[in-house]
Amino acid sequence: MTSQMNSYFEELSKAFKDVHHMINVTYKFVKEPKLLLTILDKLYDISIKLIDIILYDNYSRKNISLIPKTNEAKIVLFDEKLSPLYDFGEDLVELIKHIDHLKQIQKKSLVISKDNKVVFYIDNYTTEIFSLDDANQIYHDLYFYFEELKKEISS
């Protein structure tokens, strides 16, 4: 593994530790549902860093000729070209699209926090809920893919 790849993995390990602490310690101490929005931001950042690792690995193997600059373009490239190369690729794409969807509706909607969850009120009178349990599940799913990716790249 290259030093750049080691740096990516170290950075991602720290991000996972931070989010784990926010979910399991900080949130339980302050009990502020708005902290879920920060957790969602951190989970989104982790998902993009996972894609960055995959893109960098494939760029170094010459499977792709460039690494896109925008997160949206990174997600599309991973989805359309690289996800089939990984056993977990399609599942990871779906998870990242779900996280991205939550981030997009957060930007466009009224957000109300209540009882360990935030409720996004969307224009057409629909709602979407993001709870502490959702955050925890997404965290564990992303961590699973992180571990799988480490195994795949190390081999």
| pLDDT tens, residue by residue, 5-16 | 889 899 999 999
Asked whether 1 and 154 are in contact (CB, 8 A), the reply is: yes
The residue type at 144: F
Coil, helix or strand for 122? Answer: coil
Query: Residue 1 gets which letter from DSSP?
Result: -
d(CA 55, CA 14): 20
**Residues in a beta bridge with 131:** 117
- In this structure, what token pair is assigned to residue 30? 């302050």
Instruction: Give the global pTM.
Output: 0.93
H or E stretch covering 134 = helix 132-154
> What is the residue-level pLDDT of the chain in tens, covering all 155 positions?
678 888 989 999 999 999 999 999 999 899 888 899 999 999 999 999 999 999 999 999 899 999 999 999 999 999 999 999 888 889 999 999 999 999 999 988 889 988 889 999 988 788 999 999 999 999 999 999 999 999 988 87
pLDDT digits (tens, 9 = 90+) for 95-111: 999 999 999 999 888 89
d(CA 59, CA 18): 28
Phi, psi (rounded to 5 degrees) for 65? -95, -15
Asked whether 5 and 53 are in contact (CB, 8 A), the reply is: yes
Asked whether 31 and 43 are in contact (CB, 8 A), the reply is: no
